Chains A and B, each alone.
Chain A
Amino acid sequence: MPPQYRLPFEKPLVVLEDRLAEFERVPDPDFSLRDQIRTTRLELKKLRREVFEKLDPWEIVQVARHPDRPHSSDYLELVFDEFVELHGDRSFGDDPAVITGFAKLEERRVMFIGQQKGHNLKDREKTQNGSPHPEGYRKALVRMQMAEKFKLPIVCFIDTQGAYPGIGAEERGQAYQIALNIREMSQVDTPIICIVIGEGGSGGALAIGIGDHIAMLQYTYYSVISPEGCAGILWKDRKYADKAARALKFTSADLLRFGVIDEIIPEPLGAAHRDHRSTAMYLKGALQRILKDVTAIPKAELLNRRYEKFRRIGVFEEVGA
Chain B
Amino acid sequence: MKSATPTEPVNENGAEPRKKRGVPEGLWIRCDGCGATIYKKMVEERMGICPEPGCNHHFYVPARRRIEQLLDTDSFEEWYPNITSRDPLGFADRKPYPARVKDEQAKTGLTDACIVGRGYLRGRPLICGITDSAFIMGSMGSVVGEKLTRAIEEATRLHLPLVIVSGSGGGARMHEGILSLMQMGKVCAALARYHESKGLFVSVLTNPTMGGVAASFASLGDVVIAEPKALVGFAGPRVVQATVKQELPEGFQTSEFLLAHGFVDRIVARQDLRTEIARVIDYCVR
Which A residues lie at the B interface, using CB under 8 A? Answer: 163-167, 169-176, 178-180, 182-184, 186-187, 202-203, 206-207, 209-210, 222-225, 229-230, 232-236, 247-250, 254-255, 258, 260, 306-307, 310-311, 313-321
Beyond A166-B244, A248-B89, A250-B178, 10 additional pairs, beta carbon < 8 A: A166-B243, A170-B240, A178-B234, A180-B219, A182-B185, A186-B185, A223-B181, A224-B177, A258-B178, A310-B182
User: Can you report 29 A-B residue pairs in the complex whose CB atoms are below 8 A from each other?
Assistant: A164-B243, A165-B234, A165-B243, A175-B218, A179-B215, A179-B217, A179-B219, A183-B189, A187-B192, A203-B172, A203-B184, A206-B181, A210-B188, A222-B178, A224-B172, A224-B180, A225-B172, A229-B14, A230-B174, A248-B177, A258-B179, A311-B189, A311-B190, A314-B143, A315-B88, A316-B143, A316-B146, A318-B83, A318-B84
Q: A165-B235, A180-B219 are in contact. Are A320 and B212 (CB under 8 A)?
A: no
Of the candidates A164, A182, A254, which one forms a contact with B188 in the assembled complex, judged by CB atoms under 8 Å apart? Answer: A182
**Beta-carbon contact of B179 and A203 below 8 Å:** no
CA–CA, A319 to B85, complex, Å? 11
Q: Across the interface, which residues of B come within 8 angstroms of A169, CB to CB?
A: 234-235
Of the candidates A172, A232, A314, A317, which one forms a contact with B183 in the assembled complex, judged by CB atoms under 8 Å apart? Answer: A314
**Beta-carbon contact of B261 and A316 below 8 Å:** no
**Beta-carbon contact of B14 and A315 below 8 Å:** no
**Beta-carbon contact of B235 and A170 below 8 Å:** yes
Q: Across the interface, which residues of A come within 8 angstroms of B179, CB to CB?
A: 258, 260, 313-315
Which B residues lie at the A interface, using CB under 8 A? Answer: 9-14, 80, 82-86, 88-89, 91-94, 142-143, 145-146, 149, 171-174, 176-186, 188-193, 195-196, 211-212, 214-220, 232-236, 239-240, 243-244, 246, 248-249, 252-253, 257, 261-263
**Beta-carbon contact of B188 and A186 below 8 Å:** yes
**Beta-carbon contact of B82 and A321 below 8 Å:** yes
CA–CA, A171 to B256, complex, Å? 12
**Beta-carbon contact of A224 and B181 below 8 Å:** yes
Can you name the residue of chain A whose Cβ is closest to the Cβ of B97? Answer: A247
Of the candidates B12, B182, B261, which one forms a contact with A233 in the assembled complex, judged by CB atoms under 8 Å apart? Answer: B12
Of the candidates B12, B82, B233, B246, which one forms a contact with A175 in the assembled complex, judged by CB atoms under 8 Å apart? Answer: B233
In the complex, how many angstroms separate the beta carbon of A284 from the nearest chain B beta carbon?
A: 27
**Beta-carbon contact of A316 and B142 below 8 Å:** yes
Q: A167-B252, A316-B86, A317-B85 are in contact. Are A203 and B215 (CB under 8 A)?
A: yes
**Beta-carbon contact of A203 and B234 below 8 Å:** yes
**Beta-carbon contact of B178 and A307 below 8 Å:** no
**Beta-carbon contact of A202 and B172 below 8 Å:** yes
Q: Across the interface, which residues of A come within 8 angstroms of B239, CB to CB?
A: 165, 229
CA–CA, A274 to B108, complex, Å? 52
In the complex, how many angstroms separate the beta carbon of B154 from the nearest chain A beta carbon?
A: 14
Q: Across the interface, which residues of B come within 8 angstroms of A235, CB to CB?
A: 93
Of the candidates B171, B172, B192, B240, which one forms a contact with A186 in the assembled complex, judged by CB atoms under 8 Å apart? Answer: B192
In the complex, how many angstroms separate the beta carbon of A257 from the nearest chain B beta carbon?
A: 10
**Beta-carbon contact of A307 and B235 below 8 Å:** no
Q: Across the interface, which residues of B come within 8 angstroms of A174, CB to CB?
A: 215, 233-235
Can you name the residue of chain A whose Cβ is closest to the Cβ of B193? Answer: A307
